[in-house]
Structure 1
């Protein structure tokens, strides 16, 4: 974003100080950062595997269980259509669930690490 405001007097950059490479490495090797990664991975990996299996079930049923997937439930709505809609619903549900998880568990830890790094820089 650009502005018409003049630069600050003295030509100094008044933005937040940037941590050094050594500080980044130190934080990366810290127990606090390891806990943040563990919290993320313990949520994201199982949910990713579950969704991939759910998707593959849909694909395999569509390929090899045509009679089941073509069974009409009501009107022109069949099992395949309901499974397809459930794929979309699952995607949005996972996105909502992750956003909630991140706001409650990941963001506070990440903000604490960021604040500490900015204060030390």
Structure 2
């Protein structure tokens, strides 16, 4: 809190103690903007978006189909499969399996994302050294 301005300091002019910090933040901002314009970074964002958005939409539809069946088609939902186990119960349990499947697909694809990130980070660090 050494850089905080006290009421006694207000209105007094003096050396700016945060000039180096502000300059570093501006340099970092420029670095991030350059990375954001980079083709490989855009490829990474596009690849992640192409997986995450359809997976999210699919899961939400899958979930709402369950609610629609239970709410609007109770005869289907109450249909017995094994003794007291009905379609609604199995569909509800399938939500867990679907979550695990989607997670597995993401983890499988994350390897490609990680390789892209490693290339981007290596190039950025290399550029900053030279």
Alignment TM-score, normalising by the size of structure 2: 0.74
Q: 1:55 Cα shift?
A: 0.6
Residue in structure 2 matching 1:98, options 106, 120, 127:
106
Residue segments in structure 2 that go unaligned for 5+ positions in a row: 1-26
1:42 corresponds in structure 2 to 50
Larger Rg: 2
CA distance in 1 between partners of 2:79 and 2:103 (Å): 30
- The total of aligned residue pairs comes to 102
Report 1 or 2 for greater relative contact order, CA contacts < 8 Å, sequence distance ≥ 6: 1
Question: How big is the alpha-carbon RMSD for the aligned residues of Structure 1 and Structure 2?
Answer: 1.3
Q: Which residue of 2 aligns with 1:65?
A: 73
1:116 aligns with 2:123: yes
Deviates most, 89-98 or 108-117: 108-117
C-alpha displacement at 1:67, in angstroms? 0.9
User: How far has the Cα of 1:43 moved from its partner?
Assistant: 1.1
Which 4+ runs in 1 deviate beyond 3 A?
none
- The Cα shift of 1:24 comes to 1.3
